[in-house]
Amino acid sequence: MPVVNIDVEKLRRLVGRNLTLEEISDNLAALGMSVEETGDILRVEYNPNRPDFSSVYGVAAALRSYLGIETGLRKRSYPLSGISVYVDKSVEDIRPHIVCAVVRNVELSEAELIEFIAMQEDLHWIIGRNRRKTAIGLHDISAISPPFTYKAVDMDEVRFVPLKDYRAMTPREVLSKSEIGRKHAWLLKDASKAPVIVDSRGQVFSMPPIVNASITELTPGRRDIFIDVTGTDWEKVNQALNILADAFADAGGAVQRVKVVYGRRAFYTPDTKPLEMTLDMELVQRLTGLQLSLREASKLLRRMGMEPRVQGKRLRVLYPRHRADILHPVDLVEDIAIAYGYNNMTPVAPQSNTYGSLRPQTTFYEKVAETMLGLGFTEVHNLMLTNEQTHYQMSGLDEIQHVTLANPATREYTMVRTSLIPSLLTTLANNTDNLYPQKIFELGDIIQLEPAAPEKTVRMKRLAAATAYAEAGYSEAKSVLDEVFKLLQLKPEYIPATMGTFIEGRCAALTIDGSQVGVVGEVSPAVLENFGIEMPVTIFEIEIDKLYKLQQLYRAE
């Protein structure tokens, strides 16, 4: 979850109430945020569907309306700046959208500047998906002269000094030589041209989504700022711009609109015209379970910063443009529920009468586990994730087709197990310091390849048990198996078998009606050595889901 750092004093000032820390914490929780660390600066987690919470300004705005200080849709009408940005056709295939704003006369302390840069980075992540969908540039406007042009240039066509550097570079050099350029180069890896914004003198001041030019670098003080937001998604660039512009306005800046000209079409951004959606009261009542009147629902929506208008039995709800998370009336219902307060609702019980049941397999496996307990085996639980080294090389199993992972974060997990035997050996290896005898079992899943299944695989349940102590031997393991099968009312045959895991001549395959259902044997000392186990070990593994099916079959007969 994204995190925003909030200066408590500033929040109190912006909200206009001297809230206690507890009140702040409770109200933020009611809005879906959680305070992770308290102090003068709060560390607050928020949900990614509310990027407007990425600054103290957005959080304060939400609190003001939630607390009833200033409810309804906030009036945001920004005057024109007189500045235009011309969009060249050449960006169409690379990064087609740009929206801009100007902020005049905003006083930024060093701390506030850091705040805005942190906000910018958060928006890059949450809305921009790491700058891919949207990237934001903040510029000191004093160094550049409008109008501006957004265009794509050849990689070696222009030169500028990128931010945090002193050398003039071409876009190609920026991507390969500058620190910031290298970090974000992947964003343009398929592009043959580089998008840039140039001023009326042809001076490059931005190369979105990679880096700004150093000439427009922002420093603390009273400033005039130019904001550019470029991207691949029209709605998202607008969302990011509006959130930023509103935050600057709340920080004391005078936000002005910029004319963005696409050939013969022109827009003025930020576009603050609210969005609207019709909400049926029946849906509100059904989903919340609250018998709310139109008036009550309207009041609640106003506390979420929206403007409802009653239309018969419905509400026409105006909401700010940055609420891109609202796709469907159910999203407005959630806002009503949040305003009502989740913990103010009285829980109710389901009305329908249903009968509970376990899967018959679960009941069967529980009986099997009970049997193993009766035989003195303790249950262990292992992961299905493993690697070829442990699963095959160390345990002596023959490699069979298995699920392999495309992108594991650790080299420890590269595949999904096909047998429980390596799992039990690993468990014994983890326990060489504990008292013997050790008798353990696992009832766990494995995955096998199955080309006929839509998922190309099938999960299977296995039972495996291991015995480790000085006297552990084949005959004891077979006695245990005999007992298990006796209780299952099945008669297996023990067929001599050869497996790398087991000592030659001390390994058997178990079959029922000619079909293999398991293996048993004394683990070979070479394998024990691989796992660092210094006790004789016997292991058996049974395909317990096959036995479940066999039992069903015999019952049917």
Q: Which amino acid is at 506?
A: R
Cβ partners under 8 Å of residue 131, min gap 6: 124, 184, 187, 209
- The single residue listed with the structure tokens 């008669």 is 491
Report the residue number, 18 or 406, with the smaller CB distance to another protein. 406
Report the residue number, 7 or 476, with the smaller CB distance to another protein. 476
3-class state of residue 503 by DSSP: strand
What's the closest the beta carbon of residue 346 comes to another protein, in angstroms? 6
Report the residue number, 330 or 553, with the smaller CB distance to another protein. 330
Q: What DSSP line would sit under 54-99, residue for residue?
A: GSHHHHHHHHHHHTTSS-SPPP--PPEEEEEEEEPGGGTTT--EEE
Q: In what order do the strands lie in the sheet with 41-45?
A: 3-7, 41-45, 34-37
Q: Residues 254, 102: contact at Cβ < 8 Å?
A: no
- The single residue listed with the structure tokens 């992972």 is 405
Report the residue number, 148 or 392, with the smaller CB distance to another protein. 392
| Cα separation, 457 vs 477, whole angstroms | 31
What's the closest the beta carbon of residue 369 comes to another protein, in angstroms? 7
Report the residue number, 113 or 384, with the smaller CB distance to another protein. 384
Q: Residues 5, 41: contact at Cβ < 8 Å?
A: yes
The burial of 269, by beta-carbon neighbours within 10 Å (0-12 exposed, 13-18 middle, 19 or more buried), is given as buried
User: Looking at 433-555, which runs of residues are DSSP E strands?
Assistant: 438-449, 457-468, 493-496, 502-512, 515-523, 537-542
Give one word for 416, left, alpha or beta, with left for phi > 0 and alpha for psi -120 to 50: beta
Report the residue number, 348 or 556, with the smaller CB distance to another protein. 348
Using omega within 30 degrees of 0 as the cis cutoff, is the peptide bond preceding 437 cis?
A: yes
| Cα separation, 518 vs 179, whole angstroms | 58
Report the residue number, 131 or 151, with the smaller CB distance to another protein. 131
What's the closest the beta carbon of residue 37 comes to another protein, in angstroms? 15
Cross-strand bridge partners of residue 106: 223
The HSE-up count of residue 181 (CA atoms within 13 Å, CB side) is 22
What's the closest the beta carbon of residue 212 comes to another protein, in angstroms? 25
Q: What is the largest CA-CA distance in the chain?
A: 92
What's the closest the beta carbon of residue 123 comes to another protein, in angstroms? 14
Q: How many CB atoms lie within 10 A of CB 333?
A: 20
What's the closest the beta carbon of residue 384 comes to another protein, in angstroms? 6
Q: Residues 520, 481: contact at Cβ < 8 Å?
A: yes
What's the closest the beta carbon of residue 451 comes to another protein, in angstroms? 8
Pick the closest to residue 158 from 233, 109, 90 (CA basis).
90
What's the closest the beta carbon of residue 103 comes to another protein, in angstroms? 30
Instruction: Supply angle C-alpha 257, 71, 54, rounded to 5.
Output: 55
What's the closest the beta carbon of residue 340 comes to another protein, in angstroms? 9
Report the residue number, 406 or 556, with the smaller CB distance to another protein. 406
Report the residue number, 469 or 494, with the smaller CB distance to another protein. 469
What's the closest the beta carbon of residue 356 comes to another protein, in angstroms? 4
What's the closest the beta carbon of residue 334 comes to another protein, in angstroms? 4
Report the residue number, 90 or 431, with the smaller CB distance to another protein. 431
What's the closest the beta carbon of residue 241 comes to another protein, in angstroms? 18
| Cα separation, 289 vs 348, whole angstroms | 9
Pick the closest to residue 93 from 151, 176, 23, 162 (CA basis).
151
- Token digits of residue 177: 């030589």
